[in-house]
Amino acid sequence: MTDTPPDSPRPAPWQRQMLVHLTEDGWRAALRQPWTGEIRPCLEHWAERDLPLVVARQNLDNAKSALATPAGTLLLGLAAPQCWGRRRVALRVASSHLTMRSHSGGSLGDSTGRPDTPDADLPTRTDRASGVARRGPNASPCGREPRLLPSRWPSLAAVVAGLPAAPAAWLALPAQLHRVGLCARVYGSHGWQHLTGLAYCHGASDLDLLIPVADHATATRAATLLAAIDDEAGLLDGELCFPDGRAVAWREWRRWSQGATRVVLFKSLHGAALAEPGEAPCPNPA
């Protein structure tokens, strides 16, 4: 017996916030589009270094929208760094032009909520040309570049360890999550900065977390811990990600768990909807 309603979509291989890479044909097709201003050099940088794109929410309802995603395509995005205006770039790509790096747990980590492997153990790809930072006339205008190209968002531990002035509460959070059987990955400005080696963050940049949770009780445990850390250090944001692909802001879940609201906003690959947590299919793993 399943908790999923009969009219729920079949599980998709893609999820919001999942990182994917384009094939060489995919990048050629993307760069043939009439990009203007700062977007084209940004995309050329991404293509040359095989940097990842993130799966966005798919727009299936409005066929006339410029961001509509007809069958056989996927809407992807990237956030440009400071040197390219911090623009948000959307690309509609043929599914046949996508590839993912294969490792346990996908881009978000283990969907059961168990801690996943350290970043040092993840398969990575070196830069196509040399695997090291480029110099000379083709060097990036944005400064240093990554030696390795990971295929999923970096772990919280890796990100906070690399921050020059991380609050003590942030530094302690990976171990606190681990003690209750949870892990976190970082997206947003800190995630992109860690992945690309380019400048995204400023002093007031939030630390955006993706935390896989197995069930409602686990989500409440995670939200309670995050609330305590946020009270101490602040600037803590992010989502709790359930096994069915739906996600909810941890702050919303915290308010629901305290009885302050009856519904929360669940986000998924194909949209977002307010629902009572008991109505949303968040099955426990077998």
Answer yes or no: 230 catalytic: no
What lies within 8 Å, CB to CB, of 99 at 6+ separation is 20, 21, 22, 23
Residue 283: predicted pLDDT:
41
Report d(CA 66, CA 58) in Å as an integer.
12
Q: What is the pLDDT of residues 155-165, one digit of tens each?
A: 999 999 999 98
Answer yes or no: 208 catalytic: yes
Q: Does the pLDDT of residue 215 top 60, yes or no?
A: yes
- The pLDDT-based confidence of 115 (bands split at 50, 70, 90) is very low
Question: Which of 42-51, 60-69, 109-118, 135-144 has the highest average model confidence (pLDDT)?
Answer: 42-51
**Residue 13 vs residue 53, higher pLDDT:** 53
Helix (H) or strand (E) holding 251: helix 250-257
Quote the crossing angle between the two packed helices 24-31 and 39-49, to the nearest 10°. Answer: 170
Q: Are strands 207-212 and 236-241 parallel, antiparallel or unpaired?
A: parallel
Quote the crossing angle between the two packed helices 250-257 and 216-233, to the nearest 10°. Answer: 110
Quote the crossing angle between the two packed helices 216-233 and 168-179, to the nearest 10°. Answer: 160
The dihedral region occupied by 150, where left means phi > 0, alpha psi between -120 and 50, and beta the remainder, is beta
Report d(CA 251, CA 238) in Å as an integer.
8
Residue 114: predicted pLDDT:
40
Q: Does the pLDDT of residue 46 top 80, yes or no?
A: yes
Report d(CA 28, CA 35) in Å as an integer.
13
- Per the CB < 8 A criterion, the answer to whether 141 and 84 are in contact is no
Q: What is the pLDDT of residues 84-106, one digit of tens each?
A: 999 999 999 999 999 876 554 45
Of the residues 121, 208, 237, 244, only one is catalytic, namely 208
Average confidence (pLDDT) over 211-233: 96
Residue 99: predicted pLDDT:
87
Residue 121: predicted pLDDT:
30
Report d(CA 121, CA 212) in Å as an integer.
19
- Per the CB < 8 A criterion, the answer to whether 124 and 150 are in contact is yes
| pTM across the whole model | 0.80
Q: What is the pLDDT of residues 234-259, one digit of tens each?
A: 899 999 999 999 999 999 999 999 99
3-class DSSP assignment, residue 241: strand
Give how far Cα 153 sits from Cα of 2, 72, 101, 244, Å. 30, 25, 12, 19
Average pLDDT of the residues of the chain: 81
Of the residues 206, 215, 230, 237, only one is catalytic, namely 206
